[in-house]
Chains A and B, each alone.
Chain A
Amino acid sequence: MIKIKDLYKSFDGKPVLKDISFEYRPGECSLIIGASGSGKTVLLKSLVGLVYPDKGEIWYDDKLFTKMNPAQQKEVHKEAGMLFQGSALFDFATVEENVMFPMDFFTDWSYEQKLDRANFCLKRVDILNSNDKYPSELSGGMQKRVGIARAIALNPKYLFCDEPNSGLDPNTSILIDRLIHEITREYNITTVINTHDMNSVLEIGDNIGFIHEGEILWRGNKEDILNSDCRELNGFVFASNMTQRLRKNIGK
Chain B
Amino acid sequence: MKKSLENIGKYYMLMCKVFQKPDKWNIFWKQFVVEAHKLIIDSIPIVSLISIFIGAVIVLQTANNLENPFIPKMYVGYMAKESLVLEFCSTMIALILAGKIGSNIASEIGSMRITEQIDAMDIMGVNSANYLILPKITASTVLSPLLMLTSLIIGLIGGALIIILTGVINLSQYVDGLQYSFKAYYIFYSMTKMAVFCFLITSISSYYGYYAKGGSLGVGRSSTKAIVVSSGLILVFNLILTKLML
The chain A residues found within 8 Å of chain B, CB to CB, are: 48-50, 74-75, 77-78, 80-82, 84-86, 88-91, 101-102, 104-106, 160
Given contacts A104-B24, A105-B24, A105-B27, contact A88 B124 (CB under 8 A): no
Please report which residues of chain B, range 178-220, place their CB below 8 angstroms from some CB of chain A when the two chains form the complex: none
Write out the residue numbers on chain A whose beta carbons fall within 8 Å of the beta carbon of B27: 104-105
The A/B interface has a contact count, at CB < 8 Å, of 58
Task: Output the nearest chain A residue to B124 by Cβ-Cβ distance.
Answer: A102
Q: In the complex, A49 Cα to B119 Cα: how many Å?
A: 10
Write out the residue numbers on chain B whose beta carbons fall within 8 Å of the beta carbon of A50: 119, 122-123
Q: CB of B171 within 8 A of chain A?
A: no
Interface of B, helix, strand, loop or mixed by DSSP? helix
Interface segment, one of B60-68, B110-118, B141-149, B221-229: B110-118
Number of interface residues of B (CB under 8 A): 16
Contact B120 A78, beta carbon cutoff 8 Å: no
Q: In the complex, A3 Cα to B23 Cα: how many Å?
A: 30
Task: Output the nearest chain B residue to A84 by Cβ-Cβ distance.
Answer: B116
Say how far B188's CB is from chain A's closest CB, in angstroms.
36
Selected contact of B126 from candidates A75, A91, A105, CB within 8 Å: A105
Contact A105 B115, beta carbon cutoff 8 Å: no
Starting from the known contacts A77-B122, A77-B123, A86-B116, 13 additional A-B residue pairs (CB-CB under 8 Å) come to: A77-B125, A78-B125, A80-B124, A81-B124, A82-B119, A82-B120, A84-B119, A88-B116, A89-B117, A101-B126, A102-B126, A104-B24, A105-B124
Given contacts A74-B125, A78-B125, A105-B126, contact A88 B23 (CB under 8 A): no
- Ranked nearest first, the 9 interchain pairs of A and B with the lowest CB-CB distance are A77-B125, A88-B116, A88-B120, A78-B125, A74-B125, A82-B123, A84-B116, A102-B124, A88-B117
8 sampled A-B residue pairs with Cβ under 8 A = A50-B123, A75-B125, A78-B124, A85-B116, A91-B115, A91-B117, A102-B126, A105-B23
Say how far A79's CB is from chain B's closest CB, in angstroms.
9
